[in-house]
Chain A
Amino acid sequence: MWKFIHQLASPPHFYRIASRIVPWFVFAGLLSVGYATYAGLFLAPADYQQGDAFRIIYVHVPSAYLSMVAYMIMAVSAGIGLIWRIKLSHAVAAAAAPLGAWFTFLALATGSIWGKPMWGTWWEWGDPRLTSELIMLFLYFGYMALRGAIDDTVKADKSSAVLALVGAVNVPIIHFSVEWWSSLHQGATLVKKGGPAMDPAMLYPLLAMILGFTFLFSALLLRRVRAEVLFRERRTRWVKELILSGEGPR
């Protein structure tokens, strides 16, 4: 087990293992998302209060969840890279940032579209969760900007790691904001005492969608990490052998 993890930290091994995993994740992801989309749109009953508009939840919640997970992945791997100086860790952090930003955007956009018919407004500046999610989008931008501004890869890795860690304080704020302040968002529905407070027919597609999104996100992340690793290690022998052996970019 430890040997596996050790191997994983080695770029050439990671590159190969990742290339084998990606297709499976894509397959599993598409399967889950496919089921969830169909079930969420057509099988789940309409909500008592929100009618069919509630179905946006099947896109909004998974994206919001992943936007936060992506930040934690970015911050944790940046931290690991900083403390234990594992190059691959830094590559993961760099790869996670644009994905996280995209999912944050998706969460904000779908949330806004959901908000219009439900709360009558595209945006509510008083809502703490909306605001802290927006802050997280800006944190992603700042992270990518800082990386872009520093030419030396090692320095860029370390500087952005400090930034990512400092910004990580925002993630629990997003999650707990609905408990600490009054908000248009309802309180925790899924992860609370007594189990999820949702009709199973509505719940299962949601869980499946979260799972599917996670698989697809992971596939995207792994692909980006591979590109990152290849670029960083472009002068090493294992990369040279890989290229010369003619295995295409798969």
Chain B
Amino acid sequence: MTDEDNTLGIFSGMLGIVRRDLLLAWKRPGDILNPLFFFTMVATLFPLAVGPSPEQLELSGPAVLWVAALLAMLLSLNSLFLSDFEDGSLDQMLVSPLPLAALGLGKSIAHWLTSGLPLVLVSPIVAITFRMPFSVTGVLMLTLLLGTISLSLLGSVGAALTVGLHRGTALLSLLILPLAMPVLIFGARTVSLVAAGDGVAGGLYFLGAYAVLVLSFSPFATAAALRISNE
């Protein structure tokens, strides 16, 4: 087999995973919808608790939306490898001739498509309840786009480390949150800054750079974690 064949093999293996996960999500719409419902409901918790003052809504909008998005992502990450673990496809992945890192990356991509991207698309609707002007909403979507990529990648590592663990849920959040904090900080604050009239470039650059950084190690860390968790 030539190198080109090998590369195609890896790539199509990855796409295979993505396709399969998308198909599974299609068959179980709850997988995609539940985190979205969660996102919407959490976003409304804050106005409910804080009260309807319009200034407070506008000020807290970016932060609340971002925290809600982060929590929704954490929620959906729990089950990233769960079904694979239970039906044996995880074992298949482990013995596959294709590099586990590529397969892990495929899982991350699928997760982002089924959890991150929907959040990005739904956010403008929820943002309206926070009286967010359209220009700011655009920035919100951009930050969510970049941020959820990092979260899916980081989340895969965490999910791989905690797959099959008793009470893995809370542990997963505990493991991912520290590294997710910079994403939250820059995501939410960039949007706030734009709402206040400042420039957007710095924050977006950071989010992009962070995503690239995480991308560089996440597939390998996920693969290592999967092997360790399933020995």
Residues of A within 8 Å of B177, CB to CB, are 138, 142
B174 CB within 8 Å of chain A: yes
Q: Say yes or no: A162-B157 contact (C-beta < 8 A), given A149-B166, A149-B167, A155-B228.
A: yes
Report whether B161 and A146 are in contact in the complex, using a CB–CB cutoff of 8 Å: yes
Report whether B178 and A135 are in contact in the complex, using a CB–CB cutoff of 8 Å: yes
Query: In the complex, A141→B166 CA distance in Å?
Result: 18
**Which of B171, B178, B182 has the most A CB atoms < 10 Å from its CB?**
B178
Q: How many residues of chain B get a CB closer than 8 Å to chain A's CBs? A: 24
A98 CB within 8 Å of chain B: no
Query: In the complex, A220→B229 CA distance in Å?
Result: 31
A223 CB within 8 Å of chain B: no
Interface string of B159-182 (1 = CB under 8 A from A): 001100111100100110111011
Q: How many residues of chain A get a CB closer than 8 Å to chain B's CBs? A: 24
Report whether B179 and A149 are in contact in the complex, using a CB–CB cutoff of 8 Å: no
- Residues of A168-194 at the interface with B, using a CB-CB cut-off of 8 Å, are 169-170, 173
Residues of B within 8 Å of A159, CB to CB, are 161, 225, 228-229
Residues of A within 8 Å of B217, CB to CB, are 166, 169
Query: In the complex, A159→B224 CA distance in Å?
Result: 8
Residues of B within 8 Å of A173, CB to CB, are 182
Query: In the complex, A122→B171 CA distance in Å?
Result: 29
Report whether A167 and B165 are in contact in the complex, using a CB–CB cutoff of 8 Å: no
The contact of A166 among B157, B162, B185, by CB within 8 Å, is B157
B60 CB, nearest partner CB in chain A, Å:
14
Q: Say yes or no: A145-B161 contact (C-beta < 8 A), given A135-B181, A162-B224.
A: no
- Residues of B176-231 at the interface with A, using a CB-CB cut-off of 8 Å, are 177-179, 181-182, 185, 213, 217, 221, 224-225, 228-229, 231
Report whether A170 and B179 are in contact in the complex, using a CB–CB cutoff of 8 Å: yes
- Residues of B38-64 at the interface with A, using a CB-CB cut-off of 8 Å, are none
Residues of B within 8 Å of A155, CB to CB, are 228-229, 231
A26 CB within 8 Å of chain B: no
Query: In the complex, A135→B168 CA distance in Å?
Result: 21
Residues of B within 8 Å of A165, CB to CB, are 221
Query: In the complex, A136→B209 CA distance in Å?
Result: 20
Residues of B within 8 Å of A158, CB to CB, are 228
A131 CB within 8 Å of chain B: yes
A53 CB within 8 Å of chain B: no
A56 CB within 8 Å of chain B: no
Report whether A142 and B229 are in contact in the complex, using a CB–CB cutoff of 8 Å: no
Residues of B within 8 Å of A142, CB to CB, are 174-175, 177-178
Report whether B171 and A162 are in contact in the complex, using a CB–CB cutoff of 8 Å: no
Query: In the complex, A170→B166 CA distance in Å?
Result: 28
Residues of A within 8 Å of B178, CB to CB, are 135-136, 138-139, 142, 167, 170
Interface string of A137-154 (1 = CB under 8 A from B): 011011001100110000
Residues of B within 8 Å of A163, CB to CB, are 161, 175
Report whether B225 and A167 are in contact in the complex, using a CB–CB cutoff of 8 Å: no
Residues of A within 8 Å of B225, CB to CB, are 159, 162
Residues of A within 8 Å of B161, CB to CB, are 146, 159, 162-163
Report whether B228 and A162 are in contact in the complex, using a CB–CB cutoff of 8 Å: yes
Residues of B within 8 Å of A167, CB to CB, are 178-179
**Which of A139, A146, A165, A167 has the most B CB atoms < 10 Å from its CB?**
A146
Q: Say yes or no: A145-B221 contact (C-beta < 8 A), given A150-B165, A159-B229, A167-B179.
A: no
Query: In the complex, A146→B168 CA distance in Å?
Result: 9
Contact sample, A vs B, 8 pairs, CB 8 Å cutoff: A131-B185, A132-B182, A138-B178, A149-B162, A150-B165, A159-B228, A162-B157, A162-B228
> 4 more A-B contacts (CB under 8 A) besides A138-B181, A162-B225, A165-B221?
A158-B228, A159-B161, A163-B161, A166-B221
9 closest residue pairs by CB, A with B: A138-B178, A158-B228, A142-B175, A135-B178, A139-B178, A142-B174, A162-B225, A162-B224, A159-B228
